[in-house]
Amino acid sequence: MRFRPAARPAAFARARFVIGFLALPLLLYGVYVISPYAQAFSIALTDWRGVSAEPRFVGLDNFRRLSGDGVFWTAVRHNALLLVLLPVLTVVVALFFAFLLNDGGPGSGGVRGARFYRVVFFFPQVLAVAIVAVLFQQVFRPDAAGMLNAPLMALGLEPVGFLADPGVALWSILGVLVWQAVGFYVVLFSAGMASVPRELYEAARIDGAGRRQVFFRVTLPLLRDTVQVGWIYLGIAALDVFAIVWVMTAEHGGPDHSTTVMAAEIYRNAFQYFKFGYASAIGVVLFFFTVGFAALALRLSRRERIEY
């Protein structure tokens, strides 16, 4: 009697296949992402200036200096404001437009040309952040060449210093961030709405539900997981915003630190003041803020999964 060799378990073959494909990406991720993060923790405990071969160990001195740094706390407040407002405004606007572009109301198949509008909304995503910043520098110009100030001056009104007025500059930055982010989340939420069975909408219409009731009673509950993901991504983006602030604003976070954020202070301390240890300490604080926000958001929004 001949015996055939035992076939390898399917689970083992599948695991080998997955490991084979993931090994190189994980290696690159570890070298270029995890390793710099780990080094930042050690550098934060030194006074390294970026050029010395053997930085001096200072322990927690950099973190003690942070506690009394007024500019750092100003940056923290700005990040906190963006953390609250950017996800709220972006999600609300994106949900509004996504609902209009999809079959969400009684007798409505969405607006005509919905595919074209999705492309238009998504267009800012294909622009580099630096290009967006330069474009809005021109939009916010405080003279007759500015897109927003030109009509005001034509009406005999005083131009608004969108980027020059400390009380307005951060709100202008927030407007640019929302404009840039909305298109992606319109497409994301549209995809989520398209996956909702049409039968649910038809049942709601038969029961006499209006457009508002359909949105709040049918669409939004079924999009909760998608909105949760978008909310976390936007919160991380609000904590990590850098290029828009650095390129658009005077003094790279001005005027008078009115738009500075933690990422800008990391760059400023590292590459202008050559205080790499101090900059790394700010980076460590930003890391814990980001991880803490993500964990808290996931914890507060946890619920049983809805199957449909």
pLDDT for 204-262, tens place per residue? 777 777 777 878 788 888 888 888 889 999 999 999 899 999 999 888 888 899 999 99
Question: CATH homologous superfamily of domain 71-300?
Answer: MetI-like (1.10.3720.10)
Q: Are 241 and 170 in contact (CB under 8 A)?
A: no
CA distances from 32 to 27, 74, 90, 264 (A): 9, 30, 31, 21
Q: pLDDT tens-digit profile of 30-54?
A: 888 888 888 889 999 998 887 776 7
User: Residue 8 pLDDT more than 70?
Assistant: no
Half-sphere exposure of 171 (CA within 13 A, CB side): 7
Q: Both tokens of residue 106? A: 């009684």
Q: pLDDT tens-digit profile of 142-185?
A: 888 888 888 888 888 888 889 988 999 999 999 999 999 999 99
Q: Hey, which residues does 46 pair with through a beta bridge?
A: 57
Q: What is the DSSP string of 231-272?
A: HHHHHHHHHH--HHHHHHSGGGT-STTSS--HHHHHHHHHHT
Judged by phi (left if over 0) then psi (alpha if -120 to 50, else beta), residue 46 lies in beta
Q: Give the separation between CA 197 and CA 203, rounded to whole angstroms.
A: 10
